[in-house]
Structure 1
Amino acid sequence: MTVDVTIDPLTVPRALEDADAGDFLRYGELGRQICDESTGIPQLAPTAAEMLSSWQDATDTLHTGFVARRGSEILGMVTVDYPQEEGALSAELDLLVPAVNWGRGIEEALLDRAESEARRHGRARLQLWSLHRPDASDDVLVPQTGWGRVPPTALTALLQQRGFRLEQVERNSELDLTADAAPLRTALADARRTAGDDYRLVEWTLPTPPEFREGYAAVLARLVTDAPSGDMEFDEERWDADRVVRRDARLTGAGQLVSVAAVEHVPSGSIVAYNELLIGEDRTGVTHQFGTLVAREHRGHRLGMIVKCANLLRWKELVPHSTRVSTFNAEENRPMLDINEAIGFVPVSYAGAWQKRL
């Protein structure tokens, strides 16, 4: 057990150029380093610049972090995020200890601090995600739902020792954006014919136009309740137009670009499906798919295919130099995986969703 380590709160600077921004910049670097070590895909993690605005605004989520160091050397970090809805019971953790520092007690000390902080905030559930390369061996971990599997790692061994349970597996898939767009256009046309005139495609680039904010808020709130979550217990989220405005500002911070394709149910005027694509300031980098959802009562009309294909086609015009898009989907979400596979997504890594009840 490492004994000469101090653990201090992570400083959130006003700007990354400020004198106190060093730890936060290292936080961004650590996230990419851990993703690289775990999957070979460092771009899965956002940069410090892309995260800063979210950390500065605690209205919807309080972001906290802790730094383990010896002298001036940073050995690892842990973050603890708290949804701010009244009665929220969850705390989301991210443990960032590089392989070179693993096994020296640093990871245990950081988890101890994170758990004590979560208890202090009155939280009853800890949630954490592990990242994994594809593995064809028989030595795998399977959630109780039976959907998906991930190989064991040093992190999963620690989580099991600490009382966490694997509750869900998510597949990370990528699509080659340089491929011929004709299949996307054909799939979109077929899906729109199936959906019929009751469903209208609408598209925009963030910030969300005022006329769509309330409807968009309503469907964003349903991502927690309608998307497959295995045995994870997520807090319900409360959304309104003001929260959409705040989220837009966070997502477009640091030069990020976000495109939305949504479906409006014409008889009710409600937005009932959506897909989001995001890229950082470097428009040649990896595109990330954020939320995708079809409201439960509107499934079966191929709306998922509509929003995915429409947004990908729009994206090829908006960001012609990004070569691939990355997305995560629950392994039990077979309808969405069917869409992904039909349009050319292939699996490249996996994530395990872990939960501990305090």
Structure 2
Amino acid sequence: MTIQFHLEETSIDELAIPSTLDSVDGRAFVEMTELRNTIEREVLGTGDTESTPRELLSAFSDRFAPKRLFLARANGRIIARGVYEWQPEEDAPAAFLELQVVKGARGRGVGAAMLDVLEAAAVSDGLTVFQAWSSHVLPVSADVLSPPTGFGAIERNSPAARFALAHGYRLEQVDRISRIDLPIDRALLEQRRRDAQAHAADYAVVQWVGRCPDEWLADMARMHQRMSTDAPAAAIEFAEEQWDETRMRNLDDRNEAGGRVNLTSAALHIPSHRLVGYSDIALPEQEGSPAIQEDTLVLKEHRGHRLGMLLKVANLEQLMAVSPKTPRITTFNAEENRPMLNVNEAVGFVATGCEAAWKKTL
């Protein structure tokens, strides 16, 4: 597709996901990654959510989370990126869309044209529910937009909010972006651990760095599948993910391919010898870069024993031992997920921004 904007010829084309970063398409993928990181820094004022090209390519190559990538170019330069992702599970209801435009090209129809391309791709696959996410700074004015959950808010006049509303999207959920600087006071963590252990007599913590041990593959697959249904999602629609040991090994492979190291602390229910909760932290490819707190889940039938706190503290201690150069950790939590926010706040996480979840149904 070719579109004319103010005498500039702008093209939107699909980029095949490259097998390596050394190819022609790989170099375009690197440029796309730089665009993504630049926009994230502009919006949030920090590089905490940046990815390296290697990390991002690994995510784009995941057969359990298939994606198509579209790039808009003007005068040979990438000025916008669009991602269409879907779930491979049968009867998955929704498409997941991602759209970013460089600052100098906004307000000229590039974003609208890219959105048309992404929505058309989803419709061609039979999907008519579109869902997207946008990053925001914490609100500073009284003119805010709140989701139906009643938890959290974003600036109504932010560029992302204006764009989403103008194209028929509805705000459904707000996630809090939080950060904690390292190292954390060890006396505080020890106190939190003792308090949690007093309520968890039938549980123990098991830990590993990197690939999941064979002994725990089935239990971890079961919990990842529950994560897709148990995490607070408001009206955002997901199909229940299908996890088994093969998909767990694929997760390990993706982390290794992207240069990431996963740190896991899991809750072992001693009477049944089954894992019933876990918390993951991803160490990025580049040493000394901020880490990302990934999933933390306790199965519903084992909640009420302070396992969320126990796992969070255990993994923070593991991180500081394994990677003392890591400066901080960033995490995302639904604003309505007060139990997990309580855990985060109790160990020192502070809010730094928010992420809005949008939905449109044809």
TM class, shorter-length: over 0.9
Gaps of 5+ in 2: none
Tell me the percent identity. Answer: 38
From 173, 186, 192, the equivalent of 1:187 is 192
Corresponding residue for residue 234 of structure 2 = 230
- Going from structure 1 to structure 2, the CA distance change for 1:124 and 1:270 (only over 3 Å counts) comes to farther
CA distance in 2, matches of 1:206, 1:49: 17
- Secondary structure of 1:129 counterpart: strand
Q: Is the 8 A contact 1:2 1:105 kept in 2?
A: no
CA distance in 1, matches of 2:4, 2:133: 25
- Secondary structure of 1:195 counterpart: coil
From 163, 166, 171, the equivalent of 2:171 is 166
String of CA shifts for 1:4-59, please: whole Å, max 9, x gaps. Answer: 3211102322211223312211121121111111111233132221021232342x
Q: Is the 8 A contact 2:139 2:153 kept in 1?
A: no
String of CA shifts for 1:226-264, please: whole Å, max 9, x gaps. Answer: 111122111110100110000111123232111000102
Task: Report the TM-score, using the length of structure 2 for normalisation.
Answer: 0.95
Q: CA deviation at 1:272?
A: 1.4
Q: CA deviation at 1:294?
A: 1.2
| Paired AA for residue 176 in structure 1 | D
Corresponding residue for residue 106 of structure 2 = 102
- Secondary structure of 1:42 counterpart: coil
CA distance in 2, matches of 1:163, 1:254: 35
Corresponding residue for residue 269 of structure 1 = 273
Q: Is the 8 A contact 2:54 2:259 kept in 1?
A: no
Structure 1 consecutive aligned stretches of length 4 or more whose deviation exceeds 6 Å: none
Q: Is the 8 A contact 1:132 1:350 kept in 2?
A: yes
String of CA shifts for 1:164-201, please: whole Å, max 9, x gaps. Answer: 111100001111112322211221122112111x2121
From 162, 183, 206, the equivalent of 1:157 is 162
- Secondary structure of 1:238 counterpart: coil
Q: CA deviation at 1:206?
A: 2.0
- Secondary structure of 2:122 counterpart: helix
Q: Does 1:308 align with 2:312?
A: yes
Q: CA deviation at 1:2?
A: 4.5
- Secondary structure of 1:116 counterpart: helix
- Secondary structure of 1:184 counterpart: helix
| Paired AA for residue 142 in structure 1 | S
Aligned length: 356
| 1:1-358 mapped onto 2 (5 Å cutoff) | 2-3=4-5, 4-58=9-63, 60-152=64-156, 153-196=158-201, 198-358=202-362
Higher mean alpha-carbon deviation, 35-44 vs 315-324, is at 35-44
- Secondary structure of 2:281 counterpart: strand
Task: Report the TM-score, using the length of structure 1 for normalisation.
Answer: 0.96
Q: CA deviation at 1:303?
A: 0.4
Higher mean alpha-carbon deviation, 155-164 vs 266-275, is at 266-275
CA distance in 2, matches of 1:163, 1:20: 33
Q: CA deviation at 1:267?
A: 2.5
| Paired AA for residue 281 in structure 1 | E
Q: Is the 8 A contact 1:188 1:305 kept in 2?
A: yes
